């Protein structure tokens, strides 16, 4: 009987130690969650950087199409007809439309023109797709694909 009583003595310390350990484990988990969430709440900077960059590259792509629409038209037709795809590749080669940079953040991008049903020297309709991938310093990637459809109608000279 005395042996049993001796065993009961000190139980409060054991219970409190167990509880304290459980609280500390929960606290550590809480701390880890907060640290991992840092800067990732609701709005992702990388996604916005990718989106804005894609908008800007789309503007450059539209400028090129506005300045030199004819070569795109014939290059696309030549490719679709199975004649040659070199001129279309050449049209997509520009560094401002397909390239990469490291500052102020790391990103790479690719632009694609697609000809929609069009009639040269009458009306031209194209779809511009810009794919941007922004890489955060910790290696997380954000990809954005922006598509714009442009319709061009030939204006009479007079």
Where on the chain is the footprint of another protein (CB under 8 A)?
A: 2, 5-6, 9-13, 15-17, 19-21, 23-24, 27, 30-31, 34, 37-39, 41-43, 45, 48-49, 52-53, 55-57, 59-60, 62-64, 66-68, 70-72, 74-75, 77-78, 81, 83-84, 86-87, 90-91, 93-94, 96, 104-105, 120
Shortest CB 139 distance to another protein, Å: 18
DSSP symbol at 154: P
Shortest CB 141 distance to another protein, Å: 16
Report d(CA 46, CA 143) in Å as an integer: 9
| Six token digits for residue 133 | 């991938």
- Closest to another protein by CB, 67 or 138: 67
Shortest CB 50 distance to another protein, Å: 9
- Closest to another protein by CB, 27 or 127: 27
Phi then psi for 63, rounded to 5 degrees? -65, -45
Report d(CA 134, CA 132) in Å as an integer: 6
- Closest to another protein by CB, 8 or 139: 8
Whether residue 104 is preceded by a cis peptide bond, meaning omega within 30 degrees of 0, is yes
Cα–Cα nearest to 54, from 101, 108, 102, 115 = 108
Q: Where are the alpha helices (DSSP H) in the chain?
A: 2-8, 11-37, 45-67, 69-80, 86-91
Shortest CB 84 distance to another protein, Å: 4
- Closest to another protein by CB, 10 or 139: 10
Shortest CB 2 distance to another protein, Å: 7
| Six token digits for residue 98 | 């397909």
């Amino acid at each position: 009987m005395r042996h049993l009583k001796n065993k009961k003595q000190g139980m409060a310390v054991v219970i409190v130690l167990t509880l304290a350990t459980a609280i500390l484990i929960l606290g550590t988990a809480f701390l880890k969650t907060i640290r991992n969430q840092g800067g990732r709440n609701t709005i992702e900077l990388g996604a916005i950087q990718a989106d804005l960059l894609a908008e800007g590259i789309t503007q450059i792509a539209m400028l090129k199409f506005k300045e030199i629409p004819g070569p795109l038209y014939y290059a696309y037709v030549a490719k679709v007809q199975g004649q040659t795809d070199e001129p279309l590749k050449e049209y997509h080669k520009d560094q401002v439309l397909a390239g990469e940079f490291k500052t102020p953040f790391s990103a790479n991008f690719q632009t694609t023109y697609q000809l929609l049903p069009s009639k040269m020297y009458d009306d031209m309709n194209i779809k511009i797709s810009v794919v941007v991938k922004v890489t955060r310093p910790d290696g997380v990637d954000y990809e954005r694909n922006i598509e714009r459809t442009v319709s061009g109608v030939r204006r009479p000279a007079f």
